[in-house]
Chains A and B, each alone.
Chain A
Amino acid sequence: MTGQLLIAGGRVIDPANGVDGKLDVLIEGGAVAAVGAALSAPGARRVDAHGCIVTPGFIDLHAHLREPGFEQKGTIATETLAALRGGFTTVCAMPNTMPAPDSAPVVAALLERIARDAVVRVLPIGCVTRRREGHELADLAELAAAGCIAFSDDGSPVADGRLMRNALALAGAVGLPISEHSDDPVLNGDGVMHEGRVSERLGLAGQPAAAEIAAIARNIALCETTGGRLHIAHVSTARSVELVADAKARGLAVTCEVTPSHLLLTEDAVFGPGPEPAYDTNARINPPLRTEADRRALLRGVNDGVIDAIATDHAPHAREDKLCEFDFAAPGISCFETALGSIGLVVSRGELDFARALAALTSGPVRVFGLAARVPGIGTLSVGARDVVVFDPEARWTVDVARFASKGKNSPLQGHGLCGEIRAVVAGGRLAFAPEAVHA
Chain B
Amino acid sequence: MLEVSERQAIGDDLEQPARWSRKDLLDTDTLTVAEIDLIMETAEAMREVRARPISKVATLRGATVVTLFYEQSTRTRASFEVAAKALGADVVNLTASGSSVEKGESLIDTVRTLEAVGADLVVMRHGHSGAPYLAARNTTAGVINGGDGTHAHPTQALLDLFTMRRRLGSLDGRKVVIVGDVLHSRVARSNVWTLLASGAEVVLCGPATLLPRSLESHGERGSCTVSANFDQAIEDADVVMALRIQKERQASGLIPSLREYISGYQVNGTRLERAKPGALVMHPGPMNEGIEIAPEVAHGVTSVIEEQVANGVAVRMAVLYLMATARVQ
Q: Looking at the complex, which of B160-168, B215-223, B277-285 is the stretch in contact with chain A?
A: B215-223
Q: Which of these, A203, A275, A328, contacts B151 with CB under 8 Å?
A: A203
Q: Which of these, B26, B106, B148, contacts A203 with CB under 8 Å?
A: B148
Check B128 against A328 for contact (C-beta < 8 Å): yes
Interface string of A328-347 (1 = CB under 8 A from B): 10000000000000000000
Q: Which of these, B101, B214, B218, contacts A271 with CB under 8 Å?
A: B218
Residue A279, interface by CB 8 Å: yes
Check A200 against B212 for contact (C-beta < 8 Å): yes
Check B186 against A278 for contact (C-beta < 8 Å): no
Query: CA A202 – CA B184 in complex, angstroms?
Result: 11
Question: How many pairs of A and B residues are in contact by the CB < 8 Å rule?
Answer: 76
Check A200 against B133 for contact (C-beta < 8 Å): no
In the assembled complex, how far is the CB of residue A435 from the closest CB belonging to chain B, in whole angstroms?
34
Check B130 against A325 for contact (C-beta < 8 Å): yes
Q: Which of these, A275, A278, A324, A327, contacts B133 with CB under 8 Å?
A: A278
Residue B202, interface by CB 8 Å: no
Residue A197, interface by CB 8 Å: yes
Query: CA A86 – CA B219 in complex, angstroms?
Result: 37
Interface string of B43-54 (1 = CB under 8 A from A): 000000000000
Query: CA A204 – CA B212 in complex, angstroms?
Result: 12
Contacts of B81 in A (CB 8 A): none
Check A279 against B130 for contact (C-beta < 8 Å): yes
Check B183 against A200 for contact (C-beta < 8 Å): yes
User: Smallest CB-CB separation from A189: which chain B residue?
Assistant: B252
Check B215 against A325 for contact (C-beta < 8 Å): no
Residue A320, interface by CB 8 Å: yes
Residue B213, interface by CB 8 Å: yes
Query: CA A74 – CA B215 in complex, angstroms?
Result: 40
Check B186 against A324 for contact (C-beta < 8 Å): no
Q: Which of these, A200, A275, A325, contacts B213 with CB under 8 Å?
A: A200
Query: CA A202 – CA B29 in complex, angstroms?
Result: 11
Given A276-B26, A323-B108, the answer on whether A201 and B218 have CB atoms closer than 8 Å is yes
In the assembled complex, how far is the CB of residue A390 from the closest CB belonging to chain B, in whole angstroms?
40
Check B101 against A276 for contact (C-beta < 8 Å): no
Question: Which residues 141-196 in B have Cβ within 8 Å of A in the complex?
Answer: 148-152, 183-184, 186, 189
Residue A326, interface by CB 8 Å: yes
Interface string of A276-292 (1 = CB under 8 A from B): 11110000000000000
Residue B131, interface by CB 8 Å: yes
Most buried by B among A197, A275, A279: A279
User: Smallest CB-CB separation from B133: which chain A residue?
Assistant: A279
In the assembled complex, how far is the CB of residue A409 from the closest CB belonging to chain B, in whole angstroms?
17
Check B101 against A203 for contact (C-beta < 8 Å): no
Query: CA A221 – CA B189 in complex, angstroms?
Result: 41
Contacts of A196 in B (CB 8 A): 213
Query: CA A202 – CA B99 in complex, angstroms?
Result: 20
Question: Which residues 294-339 in A have Cβ within 8 Å of B in the complex?
Answer: 320, 323-328
Given A276-B30, A320-B106, A325-B134, the answer on whether A202 and B216 have CB atoms closer than 8 Å is no
Q: List 10 A-B residue pairs with CB atoms under 8 Å apart, sorted by A's residue number.
A: A202-B129, A203-B130, A203-B186, A203-B189, A204-B149, A275-B30, A279-B134, A324-B100, A325-B107, A328-B101
Given contact pairs A201-B218, A277-B130, A324-B106, a sample of 15 additional A-B residue pairs in the complex whose CB atoms are under 8 Å apart: A197-B214, A200-B183, A200-B212, A201-B215, A202-B130, A203-B151, A204-B129, A204-B130, A278-B133, A279-B134, A324-B107, A325-B99, A326-B129, A327-B128, A328-B128
